[in-house]
Structure 1
Amino acid sequence: MQKFIDFIFLEVWCKASTHGSYKLELFGANEELYDVMEYCHFNDSKYADFFASHVEQIYGLFSQLDPTTLSQLQTWYRNNNNIERVCSNDPATSIAKYSCLCNLLSNSDLYKKLSRFFKELYNNKLLTLKIFKDTIGTIDDHYKVFRDQNKITKCPFCGINNMKGTHHRYRDAYDHYLPKGIYPFNSINFHNLVPTCHECNSSYKTQKDPCHNSLGRRKVFYPYNTQSYNIELTINLKNRDWQNIQPEDIDLIFGPAILNEEIAAWKEIYGIEERYKAKCCAEEDGKDWLVQLHDEWQSKGGNIKTFMDNLIINTQRSPYTDNRFLKKPFLEACVRSGLFEITK
């Protein structure tokens, strides 16, 4: 679908002034897209008509653009779809919000039609038209591939919540990493569509803009990076009363320093500090881990070295099982604070 929109935007709309009147032959160089456009052109269903009519109407409006405006639209289109460079805050990659588009086009009919077109592209009723399902498949097909590759079965953004897997009838939601209500042109770009747990998507991130804060542009984690981001976590405790630890008693220290900017944005967008501290204080998580440690300490006469050594090994092997990536630094903090003594 993204390749179809690339062709429509760059090869049809942006060349409207030289291609004459609108006709289906404009799509002839892309056989699959030509079939889609022909289907939508002659199909009177609501969303087929929406797609065909907007492509045609926007073509007519593009034919009237001056070269400077056209060049700016092309630049913004390419940059807004280069999600990896946007996330790296590449200074050569200027990105556009809808407010930029509105200013450029003076809130014209073209601005309104472009806005509606790109926001509606992700509409399931459009994407499940027979011609699209037959040609490009469905978003469920993509989720199955993601599910098969996401072996840890945890949300890639928080690491604590389970993702729906093979034995679930339904799938988790896709989040527009760059929100589709803020950024034009990339609403169906899969580099900008990321499966995420309900809590990350609907409770914390919502419509937050990962790439901007009150100070301006910033670096953020690119969700489809081919190499894992190795985030370090150290915990310090300010309360020796292990049976009554509260969130304010916990300090979370993240690293490495080279990722400080990305980590700061991640923590802010997904409420990471609040959620990780809540886990450490929850009866079924942190307090249960403390009970395990206390029982080991009590039964072994203060020798819990084997317990901690095994936890370190298991965390290295499977960090997301039982939230070990959080459990390990939390229990290390407990030991380091003198709540329990390890016999060497």
Structure 2
Amino acid sequence: MLFKYKYVNHEIEKFQKYSDFLFNHVWTKARGDFDSSKLNQYPELKTIYETLHYDDGDWAQFFNSSIENIYAEFLKLGKAQRKELKRWYRTNNKIHSLCVNTHKSPIKYSEIENRYPRLSVLLKAFYERLYGASSPFNLAVFGKLKELKKSHYQDFIEANFDGHEGICPFCGLNTIKGNDHSKLEAYDHFIPKGKYPFNSINFKNLAPMCHECNSSYKLEVNPLMNIDPLSKSISRRKAFYPYSKENWNVDIQVELRNPDLKTLSKEEIGITTTCNGRNDEIESWMEVFGIEERYRAKLLGKKAGINWYYKLKDGIHNARIKLKNENLTKEEWLDYLLGECEEDLIADCNFLKKPFYEECERINIA
């Protein structure tokens, strides 16, 4: 991840608070038959539950029946079992901690299923549906998730990109739609909601991402887990937390193993990335988002690498005219181009353009 996002506090966080309350103060403390009095500590949620009780719509019935059915399953559990589930809930919602601490691992639905089969089915049905087009939170009584999401997106874009189009930090190649667009970029569940419970509506686990990163590369992959391609063994690793309070600088090096760019193939391009000892984070980022493949493709593109090459090679002639310096040398021209990149490494793929120019100089193909 090339840079972090700023987290934005917003009314939309109330949905996670509903989830927290239901799990920690209703389900894990289940005693006796369920009725609306179990929601007394959260009057707002109690009012919503009672209002939905008289609504015969599918979404309303789903929300209320889920609360009741999950409660009934918790009634069957002992104190130790409830404590275990509460710990799992807490773990899966500590997104930052999971990203930086490999001693903890998120709990999968399959792990819950092994011990609590019926409960696992109910929890999966409930949490998978809390975010998306069929979420009961889209009902007016909840404040309409879809509209709140648009409001959150606008605030997010304002905080991170001054309200306008930005660059996707997960690849650096594509744009993130700004508030000048009528459409929103998709929010990605960093820890996939289809495999891991409890955090589907937690906005610390949701981050806007370009379509290519979200739909072509990351998909349902969990950045926190490394799967060996041969043995298929799974191991924990760290990952860049999208809303980290820490800063980092990713260093990218390009190696061209063929000095003839006209015949250069993707196999002849080396991409090396480092980040001050953050080896896990780099490995996760490159693997999950296909960074090496995508950067190689960029360097072979006519509107990117090839264009950069010809600007370095032939642009000096126009530069001598524009800069009114007929004696401008190739070295000075390269320094000028590198200086342009340094002005903003995120803009125009300068983070990749700069090491490309440096490699061209090293192998003397300018």
Instruction: Identify which range, 211-220 or 185-194, moves more after superposition.
Output: 211-220
Q: 2:335 aligns with which of 301, 309, 319?
A: 309
SS of aligned partner of 2:279: helix
The aligned length equals 335
Q: 1:282 aligns with which of 301, 304, 309?
A: 301
Could you tell me which amino acid in structure 2 is paired with residue 129 of structure 1?
L
Q: 2:236 aligns with which of 184, 200, 217?
A: 217
Q: What residue in structure 2 maps to residue 324 of structure 1?
A: 350
Query: Once superposed, which parts of structure 1, at least 4 consecutive aligned residues long, lie more than 4 Å away?
Result: 134-137, 297-302
Q: What residue in structure 2 maps to residue 102 of structure 1?
A: 113
SS of aligned partner of 1:242: coil
Report if aligned partners of 2:316, 2:333 keep a CA contact under 8 Å in 1.
no
Alpha-carbon spacing, 1:50–1:7, altered in 2? closer, same or farther (3 Å): same
Is 1:338 aligned to 2:338, yes or no?
no
Q: Residue 168 of structure 1: CA displacement?
A: 1.1
Q: What residue in structure 1 maps to residue 61 of structure 2?
A: 49
CA-to-partner distance for each residue in 1:113-138, whole Å, 9 max, x for gaps? Answer: 11101111113232321012269962
Report if aligned partners of 1:32, 1:135 keep a CA contact under 8 Å in 2.
no
Distance 1:161 1:86 in 2: 27
TM (norm. structure 2) is 0.87
Distance 1:6 1:162 in 2: 34
Distance 2:308 2:264 in 1: 12
Report if aligned partners of 1:127, 1:138 keep a CA contact under 8 Å in 2.
no
SS of aligned partner of 2:271: strand
Q: What residue in structure 1 maps to residue 196 of structure 2?
A: 183
Q: Residue 5 of structure 1: CA displacement?
A: 0.3
Q: 1:242 aligns with which of 256, 261, 264?
A: 261
SS of aligned partner of 2:212: helix
Distance 1:221 1:199 in 2: 19
Could you tell me which amino acid in structure 2 is paired with residue 159 of structure 1?
G
Q: What residue in structure 2 maps to residue 129 of structure 1?
A: 139
Report if aligned partners of 2:239, 2:285 keep a CA contact under 8 Å in 1.
yes
Q: How does 1:63-78 map to 2 (within 5 A)?
A: 63-78=75-90
Report if aligned partners of 2:168, 2:174 keep a CA contact under 8 Å in 1.
yes
Q: 2:71 aligns with which of 43, 48, 59?
A: 59
Distance 1:83 1:147 in 2: 21
Q: How does 1:135-154 map to 2 (within 5 A)?
A: 138-151=148-161, 153-154=166-167
CA-to-partner distance for each residue in 1:208-253, whole Å, 9 max, x for gaps? Answer: 1211122411111111113333111111211111333221221111
Q: What residue in structure 1 maps to residue 28 of structure 2?
A: 14
Distance 1:311 1:129 in 2: 54
Alpha-carbon spacing, 1:164–1:135, altered in 2? closer, same or farther (3 Å): closer
Distance 1:136 1:208 in 2: 25
Q: 1:165 aligns with which of 168, 178, 201?
A: 178
SS of aligned partner of 1:181: coil
SS of aligned partner of 1:227: coil
Q: 1:39 aligns with which of 39, 51, 60?
A: 51
Q: Residue 297 of structure 1: CA displacement?
A: 4.6
Q: 1:203 aligns with which of 211, 216, 228?
A: 216
SS of aligned partner of 2:29: helix
Larger RCO: 1 or 2 (CA < 8 Å, sep 6+):
2
SS of aligned partner of 1:85: helix
Q: What residue in structure 2 maps to residue 271 of structure 1?
A: 290
Alpha-carbon spacing, 1:283–1:71, altered in 2? closer, same or farther (3 Å): same
Q: Residue 84 of structure 1: CA displacement?
A: 0.6
Segments of structure 1 that go 5 or more residues without pairing to the other structure are none
Instruction: Identify which range, 96-105 or 126-135, moves more after superposition.
Output: 126-135
Distance 1:31 1:230 in 2: 46
Coordinate RMSD, CA, aligned = 1.9
CA-to-partner distance for each residue in 1:72-124, whole Å, 9 max, x for gaps? Answer: 10010000000011111341x3421111111121x2x2221111011111132
Distance 1:53 1:209 in 2: 30
SS of aligned partner of 1:42: coil
Distance 2:266 2:144 in 1: 51
Distance 1:71 1:225 in 2: 29
Q: Residue 304 of structure 1: CA displacement?
A: 2.7
Instruction: Identify which range, 222-231 or 127-136, moves more after superposition.
Output: 127-136
SS of aligned partner of 1:175: strand
Alpha-carbon spacing, 1:136–1:25, altered in 2? closer, same or farther (3 Å): farther
Q: Percent identity among equivalent residues?
A: 39
Report if aligned partners of 1:289, 1:327 keep a CA contact under 8 Å in 2.
yes
SS of aligned partner of 1:226: coil
